[in-house]
Structure 1
Amino acid sequence: MVLVIVLVLLVAGTLLFHFVSPWWFTALASNWGNIDSTIEITFWVTGFVFIAVNLFMAYAIFRHRFRKDRKAHYEPENKPLELWLTVITSVGVAAMLAPGLFVWAKFVDPPEDAAHFEVLGQQWHWTFRFPGEDGQLGRTHPHFMSEQNPFGLDPGDPAGQDDRLVFNNELHLPVNQPVKALLRSRDVLHNFGVPQFRVKMDMVPGMVSYLWFEPSRDGRFDILCMELCGMAHHTMRGQVVIEPREDFDRWLASQPTFADTQDDDRADPQRGAQLYGVCASCHGPEGGGNANMNAPRLSHLDPWYLERQLHFYKTGVRGSHEADRFGQQMAGMMATLPDRQAMRDVAAHIDSLTSETPDTSVTGDAQRGERLYRNCSSCHGDRGEGNYATNAPALAGQHDWYLRRQLEHFKQGVRGSHKGDYYGTQMTLMARTLHDEQAIDDLLAYINQL
């Protein structure tokens, strides 16, 4: 009787949880309501089978429970019963699969008027590419990929020169316009998905997959990687902004073309040396940093990272939080760098500087810190050398007091909370894995050895 009661309570509890549970699908924001229908059909078929089987088991256990005055009848075969079970099972499976096949036929057949764009996934970031005025995407190949050409566009293909490149993980699309997304991966298996659109598709290295959908309402929605792609899989997030056509056209026109990014005369270190004169008063003539001025070391950082941070200070992505006192000072100093070219020139000059590794000020358990650093190494490298491919700066050789402050700011949301800080959002999630000050000290003690 105990087992009978448990089975009945299991069915009752499952039904109660379903009807009172607040967890269900996110509100639909695309044309793929049919996918919801197929899932609901599967749910009702499997739900009916779950209830019927468990209640039948409870009935059979109760009806045929052991009694001394009767003996069980052994019947190894029952062809009529087997036939009915086969027919009912076949009907149930067909009811689940047939609607999905009809939906899949539409899913792989995008409309002729669908606009197309490309999604490029990598550990752990999204970037996007749109065709230019010619309406064609240029050819790509992995052997063209480099720091200056992360999309791997063929420089000799005229069709790719006007392609619009989006280097951050915020995608914009027009509302009520069918779009076909071409999906590529730079490294491992990823999966591009937006829950509100009900679409997702694997991104397989070496091939181009696709999906299509039609956004049906304005809004901002999360882009998720729905394939376990590595340690920082949960931080591989982006956002898609659905907006009117006029706003989308204005956003797209603000993105650089491939030709814009391939300008050979990108930096002037000599002009950067003149501009760096103001920076030297805090960061030192050789970029070694100064703890008394709360200025970190710069000379060990890559130009691409320096340029990005200067741009973030200039645009308010960094230094705008009320608790970031030193960031506010840096934001004020950006008046000395009037444009992106000036930032590029300063970064190129800093790249030519050399300074000694700073003294350490943090004590901790370096052995425990080594274990904690395994998470960090996936982006920042085994030796803390940084990695352009994962948008991660060098950590080795930086002042530990500065690294401590940044980790604390990430944990507190002082840094990384701005919607334009695409990489800071990832660091916010990772920094929160360091649960206390001792963990930070242990981690920094190990980084100091690198």
Structure 2
Amino acid sequence: MIIVIAIVLLVVGTVLFHFLSPWTFTPLASNWTAIDSTISITILITGIVFILVNLFMAYAIYKFRYRKDRKADYEPENKKLEIWLTGITAVGIAALLAPGLFAWSSFISKPDDAQTVEVLGKQWHWLYRFPGDDGVLGATDPRFVSPDNPFGLDPQDPAGQDDILVFSNILHLPVDQPMEMKMRAMDVLHNFGVPQFRAKMDMVPGMVTSMWLTPTRIGNFEVVCMQLCGMGHHAMRGRVVVQEQDDFQQWLDHQPTFAETLDEHHWGNPENGEALYQTCAGCHGTAGEGNPAMNAPKVSGLGQQYLIRQLEYYRDGVRGAHEDDSLGQQMAGMMATLPDEQAIRDVSAYIMTLPDQPAENTIVGDLRRGEQYYASCADCHGTSAEGNYYTRAPRLAGQLDSYLVRQIENFKSGVRGAHESDQYGMQMRLFAQRVQTEQQVNDLVAYINSLEPDSD
């Protein structure tokens, strides 16, 4: 009787949990109601089978429990029962498969008016590409991949010159517009998915996969990688911003074309940037060497795209807006000296010309323990903390160690990386939790500054 009661309670508890649980689907934000219906049908059929099988098992245990006054009959075959079980099972499987087949048929049949966007996945971030005025995406090849051409576009293909490149893990889409999403992976298996869209697709190296959807609700939605892709898989996140067509077009017009990225002037004029940098030199030093007394980090040796991104963050309030970030607030105020995008590119281009020298070490820690903590950092920042253009991770080696300590603490406390537009900062917040104590932070930073910065 104990087993019978336990099985019945299991069934009752499972049914109650299903209806009373606070966990449910995220609100639908696309056209894929068919996928919700398919999931609901699957849950209904499997739920009924679960209830019937378990209740029958409880009945059988109770009805045919052991008694001294009776003996079990031996019946090796029962053709009538087998026919019934086979028929019922076949009907159940067909009921499970049929809705999914109809949904899949629609999922792979894009509408004629669908616009195209390419999604490029790489450990552990996303990049996006839109066709230009010709409506055609240019040809790509892995041999063309470089820091200046992360998409691997063929420079000789005319169709790729006007392709619009999005160097960010934030994708904008127009509402109520069907979108075909072509997907590529640069390294390992990834899977692009947005829970509110109910649409996801594997991204396989060497292949182009695709799916389509129509965003139906304006808002911000999180992108997650739904395929285990390495140590940083949990942090491979992005964001989709669904907006009105006019707002989307305005955003798209601000993204560079492939031809523009090939133009050396696109990345700024260092001669103009030298004059702009004179204000920065008061804190960061004439050679960009940083100044611990001013709490100003070293800026020489950092990649230009990282510099541009951080300056834009300060300009847009992504950094320096937190009430506890007094130093960031100072930097945000200084952005008035860089009035536009061209000024940001010019000053960053000048900083790239400054000689790089490692800062003096002031933090003492256990290098052996620090090396263990740094193991997860190396996947993005490099084994020598040299930085990695493809993961958008800056160089850490040679940086002021007091600045590194402060930023780790800022990430841990949410002073930095909490803004919804700082997706890379969000990733750092997740990784920063690995070092909990002050000594652990010191061990990590001491190890980083024991590494030789890349001289290339």
Normalising by structure 1, we get a TM-score of 0.94
SS state of the match for residue 224, structure 1? strand
Identity %: 62
Q: 1:336 aligns to what?
A: 337
Give the residue type in structure 2 aligned to 1:56: F
Q: CA deviation at 1:434?
A: 2.6
User: For residue 116 of structure 1, what is the aligned residue in structure 2?
Assistant: 116
Matched residue pairs, number? Answer: 450
Structure 2 residue aligned with 1:190: 190
Q: Distance in 2 between matches of 1:341 and 1:195?
A: 37
Indicate the residue corresponding to 1:211 in structure 2. Answer: 211
Shift of 1:206: 0.9
Contact 2:373 2:434 in 1 (8 A): no
The 1:310–1:374 alpha-carbon spacing in structure 2 relative to 1, beyond 3 Å, is: same
Q: How far off its partner does 1:35 sit?
A: 0.9
1:28-85 Cα deviation digits (max 9, x unpaired): 1111111111111111111111111111111111111111122222222222212211
SS of 1:388's equivalent in the other structure is coil
Give CA deviations for 1:116-154 in whole Å, capped at 9, x if unaligned: 111111111112111122222222222222111111222
Alignment of 1:218-237 (within 5 A): 218-237=218-237
Kept in 1, the 8 Å contact 2:319–2:328? The answer is yes
SS at match of 1:389: coil
Other structure's SS at 1:250 match:
helix
Determine the C-alpha separation between the residues in 1 that align with 2:245 and 2:305: 33
TM-aligned CA distance change 1:132 to 1:275, over 3 Å = same
* Alignment-derived partner of residue 9 in structure 1: 9
Partner amino acid, structure 1, of 2:409: E
TM-score (norm 2): 0.93
Aligned to 2:454: none
The answer to whether 1:384 aligns with 2:385 is yes
Give distance in 2, aligned partners of 1:243 and 1:283.
Answer: 39
C-alpha distance in structure 1 between counterparts of 2:216 and 2:200, whole Å? 17
CA 1:74–1:364 in 2, change beyond 3 Å: closer, same or farther?
farther
Which residue pairs with 2:285 in the alignment? 284
Deviates more, 1:435-444 or 1:134-143: 435-444
Distance 1:355 1:193 in 2: 41
1:136-195 alpha-carbon deviations (Å, 9 max, x no partner): 222222222211111122222222222221111222222222111111111111111111
5+ residue gaps in structure 2? 452-456
Separation in structure 1 between the aligned mates of residue 220 and residue 314 of structure 2, nearest angstrom:
25
- Gap change, CA 1:31 and 1:341, over 3 Å in 2: closer
Q: 2:239 corresponds to which letter in structure 1?
A: Q
- Deviates further, 7-16 or 415-424: 415-424
* Distance in 2 separating the partners of 1:220 and 1:421: 13
1:406-417 map, 5 Å: 406-417=407-418
Q: Structure 1 residues 355, 112: closer, same or farther in 2, change over 3 A?
A: closer
Match of 1:365, as an amino acid? D
Match of 1:308 in 2: 309
In the TM superposition, 1:22-61 aligns within 5 A as 22-61=22-61
TM-superposed CA distance for 1:230, in Å, is 1.4
Question: 1:64 & 1:8 partners in 2: Cα distance?
Answer: 17
Who is 1:363 aligned against? Answer: 364
Tell which deviates more after alignment, 199-208 or 113-122: 113-122
CA distance in 1 between counterparts of 2:239 and 2:277 reads: 36
When the two chains are superposed, the root-mean-square deviation of aligned CA atoms in Å is 1.9
Change (3 A) 1:252 1:347: closer
Letter in 2 for 1:99: P
Higher mean alpha-carbon deviation, 8-17 vs 250-259, is at: 250-259
